[in-house]
Amino acid sequence: MTGEGLAQTSLKPETSGAAGTYVLRWPDLVTITIDRVDDDSHHVVSGEITVRTLLPTDRGLVHQARLNLTSTTSRVSLVRHLKERVPEMVDLWPQIIEYATVWVLQQHRQGEPMERLWHVKPPEGITYRFRPLLLEGQVNLLFGAGGIGKSFLSQWIAYCVDAAYNYPDEGWDVEPGTVLYLDYERDKNLHRRRLDAIRAGVLQVGVEDHIEYRRCYRPLVDEITDLRRMCYEAKVDLLIVDSAGGAAGGEAESNEMAIKTIMALRSLGITALIIAHEPKNAENKTPFGASYWTNLPSSVWRSNEVTLGLYHHKVNDGRLLKPFGYKLTFVNDAEDKLQSVRFEHSSIMDSSVLAESVSTVERAAEVLKKHGAMSNKALAEELNVKADSLRMKLNQPRWKRRFGKDGMDNWHLLDTVHG
């Protein structure tokens, strides 16, 4: 193409801005990609720019570097370099680079579009990716002490979502989808062995899964650009982060880093589950002692023991669900190597350790459901609480539709706990 022909070419490009990667394409001339766009503390916006020509005489990569998108000096310097590399477009480079940088700045700064709430059509009821643990499209948190099976539970969730494996008789409903597992603690070999054991536990040995895996070591906020692109390209529906300590870059006790990490996950716009540890002997049951780990996610569960007790600490939309238990059964071979693991629903009241973390009201409901009407004294002895304290608690107005007294002054259950 001659210089005169180039000068007559329209400079309005084809554009796209999916997943934080901005692409501008002038047909038969050049493609410019700008990604990893970031703001520093002085409001300077920079991005990584890649320039490829589409000219028959000079096709291919021309330049790739970090560019200060807000600096006139940086733009002029880049134009000068491009003129030397591709002189056929000497008259077009100033307009092309100006258009590209201004357009990307506008796209980056506008954020999410404004919407009229009247036109929003919410789905009926609460939607889950994995009922009742994971709210769809939200950031969900599972935390607890170390070594009690949180990672095994998250891997089981990943398997169920990937394989569309449901437990309908027990209220576990799965919306199948693509899963990406971010591992900050272990390695791919261990995860593969655990998934093989989970497959064996549900009699699916040798059945291929499609779970994506990525080993991580940088803070999640530093990885978010690449993660956004990966999730977009792989059409990821569920992102699991194991665990918060690594994702926060070793600053998990900082509320500032908790906010940055959760907001980075929120920016993906997909269902996310982040696993977190609970400090030993902590009075306030929050991950690492930082309140924003539980303040910001939409649904928060706390686990306890390898017979897993799950306690719903928070939900943004809907109501708290009753605690429940899940038992992990491990089968090893003669050499003590893990062969299979099976997940089974169990009552949280079957474990005295787990039951201690359940409120007196919930425990009373379980006992009455199991044994029928009981006197206040007998029920208090069963729960190991003071009789007067139990009577005052169950007589509270908020429980009048749940607990009642029969003609012999015995407590009985009026309704079952939903969930």
The amino acid that residue 188 corresponds to is: K
Q: Which amino acid is at 2?
A: T
How many CB atoms neighbour CB 239 within 10 A? 23
Return the pLDDT at 354: 45
Task: Answer yes or no: is pLDDT of 397 > 90.
Answer: no
Residue whose tokens read 């054991």: 197
Report, as an integer, the average pLDDT of 289-296: 89
> Which has the minimum average pLDDT: 125-139, 224-238, 295-309, 364-378?
295-309
| pLDDT of 218 above 70 | yes
pLDDT > 70: percent of the chain: 85
pLDDT in tens, 28-80: 999 999 999 988 878 899 999 999 999 987 778 999 999 999 999 999 999 99
Residue 283 has pLDDT above 70, yes or no: no
Longest dimension (CA), the chain: 102
What's the length of the chain?
419
pLDDT at 343 over 80: no
Instruction: Name residue, tokens 């990604």.
Output: 35
pLDDT at 418 over 60: no
**Predicted pLDDT of residue 246:** 94
> Which class is domain 359-413?
mainly alpha
Averaged confidence pLDDT in the chain: 85
Range with the poorest average pLDDT among 20-34, 108-122, 247-261, 331-345: 331-345
pLDDT at 356 over 70: no
Looking only at the bridges linking them, the beta strands covering 128-131 and 60-68 are unpaired
CATH number of 128-353: 3.40.50.300
What is the percentage of the chain residues whose pLDDT exceeds 90? 50
The ranges assigned to domains in the chain are: 3-110, 128-353, 359-413
Per residue, the 3-state secondary structure of the chain, as one string, reads CCHHHHHCCCCCCEEECHHHCEEEEECCCEEEEEEEEEECCCCCEEEEEEEEECCCCCCEEEEEEEEECCCHHHHHHHHHHHHHHCHHHCCCHHHHHHHHHHHHHHHHHHCCCCCCHHHCCCCCCCCEEEECCEECCCEEEEEECCCCCHHHHHHHHHHHHHHCCCEHHHCEEECCCCEEEEECCCCHHHHHHHHHHHHHHCCCCCCCCCCEEEECCCCHHHHHHHHHHHHHHCCCCEEEEECHHHHCCCCCCCHHHHHHHHHHHHCCCCEEEEEEECCCCCCCCCHHHCCHHHHCCCEEEEEECCEEEEEEEEECCCCCCCCEEEEEEEEECCCCCEEEEEEEEECHHHCHHHHCCCCHHHHHHHHHHHHCCECHHHHHHHHCCCHHHHHHHHCCHHHCCCEEECCCCCEEECCCCCC
Q: What is the pLDDT of residue 67?
A: 97
User: In which region does residue 90 sit, left (phi positive, over 0), alpha (psi from -120 to 50) or beta (all else)?
Assistant: alpha
Given a cut of 50, whether residue 247 has pLDDT beyond it is yes
> What contacts 24+ positions apart, CB below 8 Å, involve 311-320?
311/357, 311/358, 312/132, 313/285, 315/135, 316/135, 316/138, 317/126, 317/135, 318/126
Assign 6 a pLDDT band (cuts: 50, 70, 90): very low
pLDDT, position 5: 45
Of 195, 160, 190, 186, whose CA–CA distance to 175 is shortest?
160
Specify the pLDDT at position 409.
86
Q: Determine which of 88-102, 184-198, 359-373 has the lowest per-residue pLDDT on average.
A: 359-373
pLDDT at 342 (0 to 100): 75
144-187 residue pLDDT tens: 877 767 888 899 999 999 999 887 666 678 999 999 999 999 99
Closest C-alpha to 140, from 239, 253, 247, 259: 239
131 compared with 318, residue with greater pLDDT: 131
Considering only 52-66, 269-283, 333-347, which range has the smallest mean pLDDT?
Answer: 333-347
Mean pLDDT, residues 223-245 taken together = 94
Per residue in 314-329, pLDDT tens? 777 777 776 666 667 7
Tell me what pLDDT residue 1 has: 42
Residue 366's pLDDT band (cuts 50, 70, 90): confident
pLDDT at 415 over 80: no
Q: How confident is the model at residue 286 (pLDDT cuts 50, 70, 90)?
A: confident
Q: What average pLDDT does the segment 2-21 reach?
A: 69
- Whether residue 274 is predicted with pLDDT greater than 90 in this model: the reply is yes
